[in-house]
Amino acid sequence: MAKAPAHAFASTLKTFKTASGKSGKYWSLKELAKQYPTIGRLPVSIRIVLESVLRNCDGQKVSPKHVEELAHWAPNAERTDEIPFVVTRVVLQDFTGVPLLADLAAMRSVAAKLNKSPKTIEPLVPVDLVVDHSVMVDYYGTPKALDLNMKLEFQRNNERYQFMKWGMQAFDTFRVVPPGFGIVHQVNLEYFARGVYKSPHDKADTPTYYPDSLVGTDSHTTMINGVGVVGWGVGGIEAEAAMLGQPVYMLTPDVVGFELTGKLREGVTATDLVLYVTAILRAEKVVGKFVEFFGPGAASIAVPDRATIGNMAPEYGATMGFFPVDEMTVAYFEGTGRTKEEVERFEAYYKAQGLFGMPAPGDIDYTKIVKLDLGTVSPSLAGPKRPQDRIDLGHLSTKFSELYSKPNDANGFNQPPEKLKQRYPLAIAGQGGDEEAAAPPAGSPRELVEMVANRSTKAAAHTSATAPPAPKGQVTIGNGDVLIAAITSCTNTSNPSVMLAAGLLAKKAVEAGLTVKPHIKTSLAPGSRIVTEYLEKAGLLPYLEKLGFYLAGYGCTTCIGNAGDLTPEINEAITKNDLIGAAVLSGNRNFEARIHPNLKANFLASPPLVVAFAIAGNVMTDLMTEPVGKGKNGKDVYLGDIWPSPKEIDENLRFAMNAKSFRANYDKVKTDPGKFWSSIKGTEGQVYDWPKSTYIAEPPFFEGFKMKPHAADAGFKGARIMALFGDSITTDHISPAGSIKESSPAGIWLKAHGVPKADFNSYGSRRGNHDVMMRGTFANVRIKNLMIPPDANGTQEEGGVTLFQPGNQKMFIYDAAMKYMEEGTPTVVFGGEEYGTGSSRDWAAKGTQLLGIKAVVARSFERIHRANLVGMGVLPLQFRGADSWQTLGLTGDEKIDVVIGGELKPQMDVKLVVHRPDGNHQEVTVRLRIDTPIEVDYYKHGGILPFVLRQLLAA
């Protein structure tokens, strides 16, 4: 047997000792610094990535040159080097996790067909999936809300959950946290992250340890940066590669240092701080960069506050918002139930590496330094449409009034100013608007009635100071009314100080006699059960409930847009009167229609402000000068009367940091996963039997799989043009996530398979079924294929249609694709600038491949989508200079040859030959956007999945 080559940096493998005297090995950066002396001044986040590159330097996937390049990271160098980053583990949420599991299951089926052990297909790094994206707030404002919402969730998602249960028993390294436990990033913070790791295959007496690092299939994976873990969100194909041991490839980043000084003032929350940070960093343009916090202010803020700041990295555009490990991190790990051994090892490891402690100003060479004095932060909200639009609490009323009549392109609502303060009667429950006697509104959950009955409605109905008073007993609705008030999102629910502040504010409000109007949709959806436990122990939960904030679910709910519907009466009042209704939520995103299609103004705020605005009832109430509401005996109650002091919050924090509670809670993932989950029957066995389902089906990516790949494709000839697109085609244009039209190919297929329109669900929930997803590719109702001539008025037809050639026959892209594939004709797509922009979505590349499209030719590509196309075996080709399909004069009836001269090489020139129907032809040179040698291998194997499968089966 050939001897494995010696590690190029073998001398850097050293030993460290924990406080209890236990030893571990580690790849020492201090030792490496003897060769590369600037390592000691590199940003901490870069050094953690460097450790991974050093440790995984096998001369194949990772070479000594990679180590050298990263060790030489310079703050302001041109960024051309790619880093192969092998991560420690992978986290998934359920929407993106199901298609990944389907691919793994399909690989097992291939292994079985080839008479190999299915067990050869096993994630090589630990994979954790949290089922958090599926629960909706259908029921609210009742003690039964949680149970009822979960019941509906399980009814809707039964087939997906059965499949996950199979995955749990089939794969050793794949864990599922069932619904009802929490939100992926909070669970990651409180439970998954264990400090430092060792390989499961390392059986040495003195094992080798390394730092935690990860990728996750959710953009807010960056929350884990708060505990010094390097990690971020990626698309499904990248995550799949990472779980099968492939490096995540990235361009060496710039690192912006963010120096925090001073202290937060009394009454200012971590949410206020993150809204400041978001606004500052958006203006700094940190897209694609790491942000690393340092300085005395960073050292002073609690770990949950750091996690809140890390969470919103996608909102400020950075790849990460990283906080180095220090004493606070160690204390957080102790308080949240990690074992003594784990904590000791964690601390000892980071100290041995010279990575422990918050860097002081001047310690590190950053690309750029941004500063913030925490003392300047004030209570804020962000909105009404974008998270980076921070508004001082005291300016909200005027801001909303201004935006009301500003044009849309100035971020406004384009309404006539005279309508701003008009109010309209709201017929609740057909009882003339009498709240006390309200009967169930048609189609609304029965629990709404109980909620109305439960809540004290005897208190004087609050009317905004800006609105004329309504007749007694008459419920009215107007612009700026808060119609959804949601304590939601892992961004904030992971942070005990803001959650306790919400509870304390609720207590004081209830004691002062304040109430929340029952038609406001109030919900409490923490990211872990620990939150409910400490709110209960602190005696605060009953007060939140009195104000309608009953537990609605442990999941993303309103944050992901699962707010559930408003009552038909409210929806009608909004649409009839063109009202600008508001949501106030403790989430991180507020784009129009994300929270609810009828709510145009959505404000992000801390949990206590969410409660305060629910009481005030209208965002035009200036909480800095006007009363929040009227309390006992009609007395005005101001925000200052009910806002909790830092001392009160601190006194209650002891309930939130109880290691025993954390352990007991997360032990239940195994021992007591809940009655609904326990009743799900998953199939058993190492290979999935693919029962008939319109949600889960065996993906066809490995059909006809052979151990030896076909000879490398030397281009193709006679391809037909499937589409000619303009600039900025997004991944949502290519693979929509939203509703499925009845008349679309996917709708027709679902109906033919017995699924009524009401049960279509969304493309997002059907990502485990390729029959739906390939029919949904290019099916966005807004996509414009410029092959279709505009009508007489110059209007371009929208929707996923093409002209089948020859003959110009108009049909759905899916139908044309099937016809072309049947006759063996390859196809290509042409695009403009930024092809594949938007959130990373693996189905945008998977769907393209399944439609038989061999190449996408564009002016430029979004980074992840380009990689995903290569990962699925589709050629990305880029026009050079000013060339475009328009300058070539393409109309769609041409034939295209792609000529690759010689061996496939990254970024080589490729010839495109255009054959026109009149017999003329034209040649143009384009650049092959296969960017790295490993991508050449992926492409030669037909994509990353067959490449990895061959490696695993050959091992």
State the residue for tokens 């194949």. 60
CA 780 to chain centroid, in Å, comes to: 21
Structure tokens at 553: 């679910």
Give 308 or 780: the residue with its C-beta nearer to ligand SF4. Answer: 308
Q: Which amino acid is at 747?
A: G
Which range binds ligand SF4 by CB under 6 A, 179-187, 656-664, 723-731, 898-906?
179-187
To ligand SF4, the closest distance from the beta carbon of 443 in angstroms equals: 27
Cis amide bond preceding 384, omega within 30: yes
Give 359 or 553: the residue with its C-beta nearer to ligand SF4. Answer: 553
To ligand SF4, the closest distance from the beta carbon of 413 in angstroms equals: 25
To ligand SF4, the closest distance from the beta carbon of 861 in angstroms equals: 26
Nearby residues of 419 by Cβ (< 8 Å), 6 or more positions away: 479, 578
Task: Give the three-state DSSP class for 487.
Answer: strand
Give 527 or 831: the residue with its C-beta nearer to ligand SF4. Answer: 527
131-169 residues labelled b (16+ CB within 10 A) or e (exposed): bbbbbbbbbbbbeebbebbbebbbebbbbbbbbbbbbee
Give 282 or 895: the residue with its C-beta nearer to ligand SF4. Answer: 282
Which range binds ligand SF4 by CB under 6 A, 180-188, 207-215, 346-354, 728-736?
180-188
Q: Which amino acid is at 623?
A: L
Give 556 or 936: the residue with its C-beta nearer to ligand SF4. Answer: 556
To ligand SF4, the closest distance from the beta carbon of 694 in angstroms equals: 25
Structure tokens at 357: 């402690």
| Binding to ligand SF4, residues 214-233 (CB under 6 A) | 218, 220
Give 347 or 732: the residue with its C-beta nearer to ligand SF4. Answer: 732
- Which residues are bridge partners to 876 per DSSP? 856
To ligand SF4, the closest distance from the beta carbon of 311 in angstroms equals: 7
Give 485 or 934: the residue with its C-beta nearer to ligand SF4. Answer: 485
Give 128 or 132: the residue with its C-beta nearer to ligand SF4. Answer: 132
To ligand SF4, the closest distance from the beta carbon of 839 in angstroms equals: 12
Quote the CA–CA distance of 212 and 100 in Å, as a whole number. 22
To ligand SF4, the closest distance from the beta carbon of 249 in angstroms equals: 25
Quote the CA–CA distance of 846 and 863 in Å, as a whole number. 16
SS (H, E, C) 72-106: CCCCCCCCCCEEEECCCEEEEEHHHHHHHHHHHHH
Distances in Å between the alpha carbon of 374 and those of 103, 157, 358, 583?
A: 47, 45, 16, 28
Give 531 or 900: the residue with its C-beta nearer to ligand SF4. Answer: 531
To ligand SF4, the closest distance from the beta carbon of 613 in angstroms equals: 20
Q: Which amino acid is at 16?
A: F
Give 223 or 642: the residue with its C-beta nearer to ligand SF4. Answer: 223
To ligand SF4, the closest distance from the beta carbon of 737 in angstroms equals: 13
Give 490 or 551: the residue with its C-beta nearer to ligand SF4. Answer: 490
| Binding to ligand SF4, residues 435-494 (CB under 6 A) | 489-491
SS (H, E, C) 381-403: EECCCCCCCEEEHHHHHHHHHHH
Which range binds ligand SF4 by CB under 6 A, 9-17, 181-189, 288-296, 678-686?
181-189
- Strands 521-524, 476-478: pairing is unpaired
To ligand SF4, the closest distance from the beta carbon of 595 in angstroms equals: 11
Q: Which of 91, 183, 610, 896 binds ligand SF4 (CB under 6 A)?
A: 183
To ligand SF4, the closest distance from the beta carbon of 186 in angstroms equals: 8
Which range binds ligand SF4 by CB under 6 A, 177-185, 276-284, 315-323, 354-362?
177-185
Give 490 or 746: the residue with its C-beta nearer to ligand SF4. Answer: 490
Quote the CA–CA distance of 508 and 630 in Å, as a whole number. 13
Structure tokens at 238: 């990248």
Quote the CA–CA distance of 890 and 886 in Å, as a whole number. 6
Long-range contacts of 798-806 (CB under 8 A, 24+ apart): 800/744, 802/722, 802/723, 802/892, 803/892, 803/893, 805/720, 805/721, 805/892, 805/893, 806/893, 806/917
Helix count and strand count (H, E) for the chain = 33, 34
Phi, psi of 951 (to 5 degrees): -60, -45
Phi, psi of 294 (to 5 degrees): -155, 180
To ligand SF4, the closest distance from the beta carbon of 584 in angstroms equals: 16
To ligand SF4, the closest distance from the beta carbon of 12 in angstroms equals: 37
Does residue 185 bind ligand SF4 (CB under 6 A)? yes
| Binding to ligand SF4, residues 486-545 (CB under 6 A) | 489-491
Give 490 or 774: the residue with its C-beta nearer to ligand SF4. Answer: 490
Compose the 583-622 pattern: x for residues touching ligand SF4 by CB under 6 A, - for all others: ----xx----------------------------------
Give 91 or 898: the residue with its C-beta nearer to ligand SF4. Answer: 91
* Contact predicate 428/475, CB 8 Å: yes
Compose the 680-699 pattern: x for residues touching ligand SF4 by CB under 6 A, - for all others: --------------------
| Binding to ligand SF4, residues 123-152 (CB under 6 A) | 132
To ligand SF4, the closest distance from the beta carbon of 835 in angstroms equals: 26
Structure tokens at 237: 């194909």
Compose the 550-579 pattern: x for residues touching ligand SF4 by CB under 6 A, - for all others: ------x--xx-------------------
To ligand SF4, the closest distance from the beta carbon of 189 in angstroms equals: 11
Binding residues for ligand SF4, rule CB under 6 A, total 14
* Cα Rg of the chain, angstroms: 28
Give the start-end residues of each E strand in 348-388. 368-373, 380-382
Give 507 or 589: the residue with its C-beta nearer to ligand SF4. Answer: 589
| Binding to ligand SF4, residues 646-675 (CB under 6 A) | none
Compose the 237-266 pattern: x for residues touching ligand SF4 by CB under 6 A, - for all others: ------------------------------
Q: What is the dihedral of CA 938, 943, 949, 954, to 10 degrees?
A: -40
* Contact predicate 518/452, CB 8 Å: yes
To ligand SF4, the closest distance from the beta carbon of 214 in angstroms equals: 14
Give 185 or 517: the residue with its C-beta nearer to ligand SF4. Answer: 185
Structure tokens at 68: 């050298």
Interface residues toward ligand SF4, by CB under 6 A: 132, 183-185, 218, 220, 489-491, 556, 559-560, 587-588
